[in-house]
Chains A and B, each alone.
Chain A
Amino acid sequence: MRFVLLSCLITAVLGSGLYFTKLSVDEQYRTLKRLEEEIKIQTEHNYVLQAEWTFLTRPERLLELSELLLGMSPITPERILPISSIPLARATSMLSTNAVSGVNNVVY
C-alpha cells in the first residue's frame, strides 16, 4: 500500500514539474515566435527600403540629375594625372632648417 501511495506521489510531483517546465518552454517559444515575426516584418521593410534606395540611386537617374542640376560631366583624361606629377613638399627636416625659403622648397 505504501509503495502504491509513494508511486502516486512521485508521479504527481514529476507530472507537475513536467507541466510547469512545459509551460515555461511554451512561453519561451511564444517569445521566440514573436521575435521571429518581428524580424520577418523588419526584413520585409528592409527589402522595400533597399529596393526604394536602389530605385532612387540608379545610375541612369544619378547621371541625369548630376548633369541637369549640378552641371557635371564625365572627367576628361587631361584631368587625370599620375601621382608623381603632384607637387610634393620636401622632407620636414629640410623645411624646418630653411623655413624662410617657403614655396621654393617644393619640388615639381
Chain B
Amino acid sequence: MWYIRALKFCISLLWPAHPEPAKSRKIAGYRLIFAGFSMLFIFCIIGMQSVALAIKTLSPSESFSTTNHDRTRGSIFDQKGRILASTVPINILYADPKHIFNPEQVASELLPFLPNLSREILLKKLTKNSRFSELDRKLTPKRHSAILQLGIPGIYVKPSTIRIYPQGTEAAHIIGAVDRDNIGIAGIEKSQNEKLAAGENVNLSIDTGLQTILRKSLKTQIDKFEAIGGAGLILNMKTGEIIAATSLPDFDPNHIMLSTDAARFNQVTKGVYEMGSIFKILNTAIALETGAIDMHSTVDVSKPIPIAGQIINDYKPINGSITLAEILVRSSNIGSAHISQMIGPKTQRKYMKQLGLFEPSSLEIVENGVPLVPDDWSNITAMTVSYGYGLSVSMVQAAAAIAAAGGDGLFISPTLLKRNANEAIKKVRIFSKQTSKAVRSMMRLVVSHKLGTGNFADAHGYLVGGKTGTAEKIKNKGFDKNTNRVSFVATFPVSDPAYLIMIMVDEPIKQKHSNNYATAGWVVAPAIRDIVNQISPILNVHPVDISKPENSQNLLPPMLLDGQEAVYATY
C-alpha cells in the first residue's frame, strides 16, 4: 500500500535504523520541522474547536430559549382585559421517604400545617416506597415559611405553577378548566389548548361585569321560584359576540373536582331543548318573508286543532279571528299552527336550516350541543315547530336565529372570541328589512301592550321587545304540564336592536307572590327588566324617545290590536 510505504519513508527520515553521523544534523532538522508542524496542527485543532464552541454558544436558540415545558400557559382575558384564567408560580411540598428516619415524629410536626391531610394518610405518604411523595400541591407562602422553620430533613419544596381563575364561578362553563398537568379539559381551556399551551393569550368576547349582572339576576329568579336551575346569555346583535353566558348551577374552576356533573353541564351551549313559544318569532318572520300572510289578514283561533292523538290548544282560549301581531302578542299556538300550514313544511324547513338550527353552532367551545332535528318534516312537524316543539336546539342557536329575525334580518354566527375592530363579519341576509321591522314591532308589543305576555320585561325607556316561551318537559315518556322550562328572549332597543338577552329557568314552582303562576312572563320577564336597566348604561345604550321620527320610522306605524290602536311606548 502506498500510504504504508510513505509512513515508512517518513519514519526512516526521522528515525533511521542506522543513522550516519554526517546526516545526524539533517535528521535533527527534520525532527524539529515535524515537531513544529505537529504543534501547529494541534493549535489549529484547538483554535477551530474554540471557534466552533464560541459560535455554538452564540446561538440564542440553543443557549437561552425556553422549552415548551418551561413556557407559561397563556392567560384568558375578558373583553375589557380582565383576567379570567392565569398561571402563577406555586410551591409543591413533598417528602423523600428515604431521608425520613422517624415518620411518626415528622407527621406530628407537619400535621398542623397540612389541613387537608389526616394523620393516617400523611404517615402513609411519609413511608411510601419512593423518592418523591407529594404532600401539598398548593402551599401558601405562610405555611411554606412555617414548614421551612421546622427544618425537618426529608421534607422539600419544589417550585411549580398552578392555573387560577380569579373570577371564581363567573363564566366558569365558558372558560373551562385544566387538569393537573395544565392541559385543558373543558371550555375554552380545551378548545384553545394548543394556543394557550404555546404561551399565547386568548381574549374572549365575555364581559365579566355584564356576566355578574346576568348571573345575579338569574339566580334571584331561580331562588324566588325554587327552580332547579337556569341559563342565560347576552348577545351583541351587531357583531355576533356573546358578551355574557351563564348556566346555573355552576362550579368553581379552581376546584372543579369538587363539582357535580349537573353543575358542570353547560346549558347555554351544550344542552339542546325544545324552546317553546319563542319559536313563534321565527314562524312569524318566515310567514311574512314568504308572503304566506300579511299584517292585516286574520286567522281563526277559536277551535283547537287535533293532531296525532294530541290537541293543539291555547294557554288562554281566544274567540274569533286575530291578526298576525295578535297571534304573537297573545302567544296563540293555534294561530301559529295555522300559519305554519300557510307557509308549508318545505319552506319552513328551508328557513330553519338557513338559520343554522340543523347543525351544531360554530362556537369556539367543545361543549357544543347537536340539535335534534325530526327526520320527517311533515305538516304535523311544521305545526309543532311553529310553537317550539319537535325541534331541539341549544340556547345559542336559538338566540342567533332570533337575532336575525328580530334584528336587521341578517344572520351572524355567534362567537365567544373578541372580534378585532376592523374584522370583517360574515352576515347572511335571511329576512328582508321590512320583515324584520315588522317582527321588531310585534316583539315590542309583546312587552308594551297590555295583552302581551311579557309586560314585566318593560325596562322603562329602553324599548324592550321580546317573546315568552313555556315548554313542558318530558317526564315518563310524555309531556308533563307541571314541569316546565320557561324562557324569554328580548332585544333592545327595538328601534335599532343592539343586544339580545335570552334567559331560561328550569322547573320553576308556582308561588304565592306570583299569583300561583310560574310562566315565563312571571318568572323570567322581571329578570330581563333588571338586566336591561343595569347593563344599558354600561353598554352605552340610552333611553329612546319613540316620538322622534328617527326612532319611530324603524318600527311599523301603530297597528290595531284587540280593536284598539297599539302604541310602542309603555301602556
Chain A: residues with CB nearer than 8 A to chain B?
1, 4-5, 7-8, 11-12, 14-15, 18-19, 21-22, 25-26, 29, 32-33, 36, 44, 47-48, 50-52, 54-55, 58-60, 63, 74-78, 80, 82
Stretch at the interface among B40-48, B188-196, B264-272, B301-309: B40-48
Contact: B166 with A77, CB < 8 Å?
Answer: no
Stretch at the interface among B81-89, B233-241, B438-446: B81-89
B-chain residues with CB within 8 Å of residue A44 when the two chains form the complex:
88-89
- The contact sample of 30 A-B pairs, CB cut-off 8 A, is A1-B32, A4-B32, A4-B40, A5-B36, A7-B36, A8-B39, A8-B43, A11-B43, A18-B51, A18-B54, A22-B53, A25-B54, A25-B58, A29-B57, A47-B86, A47-B88, A48-B88, A48-B89, A50-B83, A54-B82, A54-B167, A58-B82, A58-B166, A58-B208, A59-B208, A59-B212, A76-B533, A77-B459, A77-B462, A77-B543
Determine whether B140 belongs to the interface, using a CB cutoff of 8 Å to chain A: no
Instruction: With A4-B37, A11-B43 as known contacts, state yes or no: A58 contacts B168, CB within 8 Å.
Output: yes
A-chain residues with CB within 8 Å of residue B533 when the two chains form the complex:
74, 76-77
Q: From residue 29 to 72 of chain B, which have CB atoms closer than 8 A to chain A?
A: 32-33, 36-37, 39-40, 43-44, 46-47, 50-51, 53-54, 57-58, 63-64, 72
When C-beta atoms are compared, the residue in chain A nearest to B545 turns out to be: A82
Contact: A80 with B47, CB < 8 Å?
Answer: no
Contact: B51 with A33, CB < 8 Å?
Answer: no
Tell me the smallest distance from the CB of B4 to a CB of chain A, in Å: 27
Contact: B537 with A80, CB < 8 Å?
Answer: yes
Contact: B47 with A14, CB < 8 Å?
Answer: yes
Tell me the smallest distance from the CB of A55 to a CB of chain B, in Å: 4
A18 contact from B47, B63, B166, B462, Cβ within 8 A: B47
A51 contact from B36, B63, B83, B216, Cβ within 8 A: B83
State in angstroms the CA–CA spacing of A59 and B462 once bound together. 24
Contact: A8 with B166, CB < 8 Å?
Answer: no
B534 contact from A36, A74, A78, Cβ within 8 A: A74
Contact: B50 with A75, CB < 8 Å?
Answer: no
State in angstroms the CA–CA spacing of A75 and B542 once bound together. 12
Contact: B536 with A77, CB < 8 Å?
Answer: yes
B-chain residues with CB within 8 Å of residue A78 when the two chains form the complex:
460-461
Determine whether B170 belongs to the interface, using a CB cutoff of 8 Å to chain A: yes
Determine whether B293 belongs to the interface, using a CB cutoff of 8 Å to chain A: no
Binary interface encoding of chain B residues 143-175 relative to chain A, with 1 for a CB under 8 A from any of its CBs, else 0: 000000000000000000000101110100000
Contact: B33 with A22, CB < 8 Å?
Answer: no
Instruction: With A15-B43, A47-B87 as known contacts, state yes or no: A36 contacts B64, CB within 8 Å.
Output: yes
B212 contact from A11, A47, A60, Cβ within 8 A: A60
When C-beta atoms are compared, the residue in chain A nearest to B70 turns out to be: A40
Nearest 4 Cβ contacts at the A-B interface: A4-B36, A77-B461, A54-B166, A59-B212
Determine whether B103 belongs to the interface, using a CB cutoff of 8 Å to chain A: no
B-chain residues with CB within 8 Å of residue A26 when the two chains form the complex:
57
When C-beta atoms are compared, the residue in chain B nearest to A83 turns out to be: B542
A75 contact from B63, B216, B537, Cβ within 8 A: B537
A59 contact from B64, B87, B209, B461, Cβ within 8 A: B209
Binary interface encoding of chain B residues 516-554 relative to chain A, with 1 for a CB under 8 A from any of its CBs, else 0: 000000000000000001101100001100000000000
Instruction: With A15-B46, A50-B86, A60-B212 as known contacts, state yes or no: A22 contacts B54, CB within 8 Å.
Output: yes
B-chain residues with CB within 8 Å of residue A47 when the two chains form the complex:
72, 86-89
State in angstroms the CA–CA spacing of A104 and B542 once bound together. 30
